[in-house]
Structure 1
Amino acid sequence: MNNFVYSWSDGKTLPESYVFPPEKRPGEHLVHVSKNIPVIDLGKAVGLHRKEAIQQIIDASQEFGFFQVINHGVPRRVVEDARAAYQGFFDLPTEEKMRLYSSDVNKKCIFYTSSVFYDNEDIHAWRDSLRHLCTPLDECIHSWPQKPTKYREVVQKYVTEVREMGSRILELISEGLGLGVGYFENELSQQQYLNVHRYPPCPDPSLTLGLRPHCDTGLITILLQGTVAGLQALKDGQWMCIEPIPDAFVVNIGYQLQIVSNGKLVSVVHRAVTNKDEARMSAAFFIEPKEDCIVEPAKAITTDAGNPAVYKSVQYAEFVQTFRAAYLGKTQNVLEHYMV
């Protein structure tokens, strides 16, 4: 079976199975680019400006659920080599890519289209994706693509650098929430994976989506954008396009961080739109709890009588199952199931 968009799209025809209902279509307003998403200089998080940088992260996570980071410490060469490797994979002959075709999320690396729920979707998303499990890294890389040459070596370096950046961001968030040192350096953050998405040129971007509206299930997601805009976040009932900034990463808050912070930080609904003339590629690195991890509001936050826990404790594996059921049911607010 080969339903991958790249394999059949002529750039002129949009099949009915990709046309969203009128109320869910992105419409004509696709080019608006918001410059209001905070851009935070992580280089200032060391030294005299540390508290200022932490407060900027907390403020952005409360108001937008999104921020961008610059001077993050990930070498430009590592990023550019990874981009080239991702593009090299998508440029491979179909028979080579299809070696990894699967919708089984328990596999360490899969190539799929739209979503892993393709067979159960009524409307498909306009994208093809490559998913890598990244923990434990030294075991997982043996399941990643063997081609193009040095793909595993290059992407391993990228994952290592981005994971380190993510750990630093979580440490800053922990400090900002008053949770102390190392709060997230345990099973809360020990599962990670990387999704590389390619959105081919689309005949009519006003009728379809590259990624339907959702929130992320984990702690934080670190996204590498290209030069083509497409990521949008919901703010005050309006879709805001998050501007691609050279050498920056987009960071967004996941459901589990909203639970741990007892709702102080928010996971915001976001989506991806398509482009008529250009392909778009992005790479999302997810930092999540282990499946058997129990996630709950941090005691340091809820011991105050004026700030009681608003979420129940939940095993992460159970939460993910609820999320998947909600996805197929096309509902967005999964957290309501776990409110006290």
Structure 2
Amino acid sequence: MPSLSDHFEFESIHEVPESHAWPSLDDHPSGDATGHDTIPLISLSNPDNNTTKLLLRHACQHWGVFHVTGHNIPPSLLSNLELQTRRLFSLPTNQKLKAARPPDGVSGYGLARISSFFSKLMWYEGFTISGPVLPHALQLWPSDHYLFCEVIEEYKKEMRKLAEKIMQLILSCIGIKEEEVKWRRELTGVLQLNSYPACPDPGKAMGLAAHTDSSLLTILHQSSTSGLQVLRREDRHGPARWVTVPPLAGALVVHVGDLSHIISNARFHSVVHRAVVNRFRHRYSMAYICGPPADVKVKPFVGSPVFRPVTWGEYLCLKGKLFNQALNSIRVVQDDEQLCLEL
């Protein structure tokens, strides 16, 4: 289990230490040059348009990830969020550790949550904000925290509105009526700030190991340095392969999470993704991780249920114990051939 002693100043490291040296990352090619591996781009400027819904359904079924534009998040807010994220991670490690995430807690500075499932550490540091940001900000900047708090709270407010909008579209694509999901306007969210420092040997290091998100959906803003990769499932264009998701100016990335996989009864797929690192550039990403209210049991709404009902909290506990086998642990139908999973 990684501990706080595993943190160090990445900028002072001139070669990848054994603690962070991973096997080769070249097991899968990073997409192809044919255009088939370009993730979908969807505009939300006219969400009720049938074309928008068709594109969204296709993206959720075949990719589990897509870019969105027309989201109405001010560019200035995205810029300010990235600036404050850089400011946070530029603090000395001993200062960041004053806001360290407790072993049994959710919020604060720390290693990747999935670190305990791997023998090697990741070239990564993160900061999780669940609930009010002020207590953390006071630990980091006792007398200079106002702007950080203002930006974070404004971003969380805008992200919640956007998440509700996208989730409503996803539900409609599944064929779920609004009255069937009374909690659709009561979504909760956690903001995850991610830092991937420049690495002297990117071929040996892993930014963030492959995983799916436990959420309904995750909305990601990434800096101009590329690093996000998604696993494209085997299809008529080739075998399973890693595809790089390049940063697009003004666009946000949306990941389908495990809870949406459950709600759709496995029609929509949570996307396996990872982050690789860059030799020369420090990469940042900011993820809004969205889920239902704590007391809501998420369940399949269409077809013969593949999964049993589960709350987000219960599922997070399973994910913490079983990692990427958590979905299988709540499966009630083992033979997918019994089901028609195409809309």
Band of TM-score, shorter chain: 0.7 to 0.9
1:275 maps to what in 2? 278
SS in 2 for 1:275: coil
Shift of 1:184: 4.9
Q: Give the alignment partner of residue 226 of structure 2, picking from 217, 229, 247.
A: 229
Q: Give the alignment partner of residue 266 of structure 1, picking from 255, 258, 269.
A: 269
TM-score, structure 1 normalization = 0.85
2:339 maps to what in 1? none
Structure 2 unaligned segments of length 5 or more: list them. Answer: 235-239, 333-343
Shift of 1:104: 3.4
Asked if residue 142 in structure 1 is aligned to residue 134 in structure 2, the reply is yes
2:330 maps to what in 1? 338
Shift of 1:92: 2.5
Shift of 1:278: 0.5
Is contact 2:218-2:289 (8 Å) kept?
yes
1:16 maps to what in 2? 18
Is contact 2:168-2:184 (8 Å) kept?
no
SS in 1 for 2:57: helix
Number of equivalent positions: 316
Q: Which letter maps to 1:102?
A: R
Is contact 2:229-2:273 (8 Å) kept?
yes
The CA distance in 2 between the partners of 1:130 and 1:123, in whole Å, is 20
1:207 maps to what in 2? 204
1:78 maps to what in 2? 77
Change (3 A) 1:29 1:274: farther
Shift of 1:337: 1.4
Asked if residue 175 in structure 1 is aligned to residue 175 in structure 2, the reply is no
Is contact 1:32-1:241 (8 Å) kept?
no
Shift of 1:180: 1.6
1:193 maps to what in 2? 190
Q: Report sequence identity in percent.
A: 25
Q: Which letter maps to 2:310?
A: V
Change (3 A) 1:118 1:233: closer
Change (3 A) 1:27 1:13: farther
Which residues of 2 match residues 44-55 of structure 1 at below 5 A? 44-45=46-47, 50-55=49-54
Is contact 1:41-1:53 (8 Å) kept?
yes
Over the residues paired in the alignment, what is the CA RMSD in angstroms?
Answer: 2.4
Change (3 A) 1:190 1:28: closer
The CA distance in 1 between the partners of 2:291 and 2:31, in whole Å, is 32
The CA distance in 2 between the partners of 1:216 and 1:105, in whole Å, is 19
Shift of 1:290: 3.5
Change (3 A) 1:184 1:252: farther
Shift of 1:181: 2.3
Is contact 2:29-2:242 (8 Å) kept?
no
Q: Which letter maps to 1:83?
A: E
SS in 1 for 2:210: strand
2:335 maps to what in 1? none
Shift of 1:106: 2.8
SS in 1 for 2:137: coil
Is contact 2:7-2:93 (8 Å) kept?
no
Q: Give the alignment partner of residue 286 of structure 1, picking from 281, 285, 289.
A: 289
Is contact 2:171-2:177 (8 Å) kept?
yes
Q: Which letter maps to 2:265?
A: N
Which residues of 2 match residues 290-305 of structure 1 at below 5 A? 290-298=293-301, 301-302=302-303
1:4 maps to what in 2? 7
Is contact 1:194-1:285 (8 Å) kept?
yes
Change (3 A) 1:44 1:96: same
Structure 1 unaligned segments of length 5 or more: list them. Answer: 135-139, 303-307
Q: Which letter maps to 1:39?
A: L
Change (3 A) 1:184 1:79: farther
2:109 maps to what in 1? 111
Q: Which letter maps to 1:17?
A: S
Is contact 1:45-1:54 (8 Å) kept?
yes
Is contact 1:26-1:208 (8 Å) kept?
no
Is contact 2:68-2:251 (8 Å) kept?
yes
Q: Which letter maps to 1:271?
A: R
Is contact 1:200-1:279 (8 Å) kept?
yes
The CA distance in 1 between the partners of 2:28 and 2:269, in whole Å, is 28
Judge which range, 223-232 or 183-192, deviates more. Answer: 183-192
Shift of 1:156: 0.6
The CA distance in 1 between the partners of 2:31 and 2:268, in whole Å, is 28
Shift of 1:179: 1.0
Shift of 1:293: 2.6
Q: Give the alignment partner of residue 320 of structure 1, picking from 294, 297, 316.
A: 316
Q: Which letter maps to 2:267?
A: K
Per-residue CA distance 1:56-84 (angstroms, 9 max, x = gap):
11110101000000111111111111111
Asked if residue 124 in structure 1 is aligned to residue 127 in structure 2, the reply is no
TM-score, structure 2 normalization = 0.84
Per-residue CA distance 1:187-222 (angstroms, 9 max, x = gap):
896331011011001121112211111100110000
SS in 1 for 2:6: coil
Per-residue CA distance 1:255-298 (angstroms, 9 max, x = gap):
11011011111012110011111010000100013444312101
Q: Which letter maps to 1:97?
A: K
Per-residue CA distance 1:151-208 (angstroms, 9 max, x = gap):
0011111111111111111111122222122655518963310110110011211122
